[in-house]
Amino acid sequence: MNARSRVLFMFFLSGAFAAAPVFAADAPDAASNSAPSANHQWQGGHRHHGGEFHRVLSQLNLTAEQKTQIKSIVTQARTDSSTRHTSARANRDTLLATSPNDPGYPALLAAEKANAAARVQTASDLKTQIYAVLTPEQQSRIPTIIAGDRAAREARIAAWRSQHSG
């Protein structure tokens, strides 16, 4: 990696970390039916895990009751995951600082694997709870919305690449 690439990488990395609290502060509105706020625009093609599904939900014409139920589900999930996240972060930091030759390394690695599995399960549970609030018609629209968003994103990337190649 040349010096320019390293500088750009560090710039984007620092921007991502700086913007993360902004996204977290805006996240409770995950069930709102409004367009994504300016706070989400920094993500570009690098979306936070909840961001894409938030965009999908915003296109489903949710009823006020559905919005309330989904907001409650998301708020509860965030509360439940807060403690787990802190613990997992501490384990990850310890794992990164520990030599693979350390006798405690296998236990830290096993804990990190368990934390990763728990994150996947939590995301799956959250999605299942949200789908239960949606009507069958809304559920059936989700793959089409995701495909449309993906095509639009790929078109933006292709346009950017054609503009910047050369």
Amino acid of residue 40: H
**Comparing C-alpha atoms, which of 34, 70, 73 is closest to residue 55?**
34
Cα dihedral across residues 57, 145, 122, 135: positive or negative: positive
Give yes or no for a contact between 134 and 60, defined as CB atoms under 8 angstroms apart.
Answer: yes
For 83-149, give the DSSP string. HHHHHHHHHHHHHHHS-TTSTTHHHHHHHHHHHHHHHHHHHHHHHHHHHHHS-HHHHHHHHHHHHHH
Tokens of 127: 């999605």
pTM of the model: 0.60
How open is the CA angle 70-35-31, to the nearest 5 degrees?
A: 5
Domain boundaries, the chain: 1-60+136-166, 62-134
Q: Is the pLDDT of residue 134 over 60?
A: yes
For the segment 53-101, what is each residue's pLDDT rounded down to a tens digit? 888 998 999 999 999 999 999 999 888 888 888 888 999 999 999 999 9
**Share above pLDDT 90 across residues of the chain, in percent, rounded to a whole number:** 53
47 Cβ contact partners less than 8 Å away, ≥ 6 residues apart: none
For the segment 22-57, what is each residue's pLDDT rounded down to a tens digit? 333 344 444 443 334 433 434 444 444 456 788 899
- How large is the angle between the packed helices 105-133 and 49-58, nearest 10 degrees? 0
Unique residue bearing structure tokens 């489903």 = 60
